[in-house]
Homo-oligomer: A and B are copies of this chain.
Amino acid sequence: MDLGTGLLAQQPLSVHFGTSLDVFVAGRAELSLTIRPDMLQQHGFVHGGVLAYLADNALTFAGGSVLGDSLTVEFKLNYLRPARPGSKLRAVATVVGSGSTNAVCRCDVFVDGPVGDVLCATAQGTIQKAREKS
């Protein structure tokens, strides 16, 4: 089990959601999960909080791929289309720019459907290298 997958397995929330880390290379991370009934909102679509969780997590993994142990300072998310149950969510995050302590990352969240993947949310955020404890 590689570093990123091990880290994901240590997140109880990600274990609960059944999230998997599909890509984790320098400058890029992809996470996915299968939509379940307990992830929905009142209109039968995926709750925005699940999209936000997946985007936030993918942004942190993308930033961490170049910075090492990291945390999300902040992010911004636009919802584009509702995601229906019975499908899979996939978050693709990339590093747009980075320095020694910070990385700016973007993330697109897709839901798969009968005619291919559809973009349902897009995010941009700031990831910061965790400081060593002294």
The interface residues of chain A, by DSSP majority, are classed as mixed
A59-92 Cβ-contact flags toward B at 8 Å (1 or 0): 0100000000001111111111100000000000
Number of A residues with CB within 8 Å of any CB on chain B? 46
Determine if A122 and B96 form an interchain contact, defined as CB atoms under 8 angstroms apart: yes
Complex A-B, nearest 9 residue pairs according to Cβ-Cβ distance, in ascending order: A49-B53, A10-B42, A76-B76, A52-B52, A13-B47, A80-B97, A74-B78, A78-B104, A16-B38
Interface residues of chain A, those whose CB is within 8 Å of chain B, are 7, 10-16, 37-42, 47-50, 52-54, 56-57, 60, 71-81, 96-97, 102, 104, 106, 108, 119, 122-124, 126
Extra A-B contacts (19), CB below 8 Å, given A10-B42, A12-B38, A13-B49? A12-B41, A12-B47, A13-B39, A13-B40, A14-B47, A47-B53, A49-B53, A71-B79, A72-B79, A73-B73, A73-B79, A74-B74, A76-B76, A78-B104, A96-B108, A97-B122, A104-B122, A106-B122, A126-B126
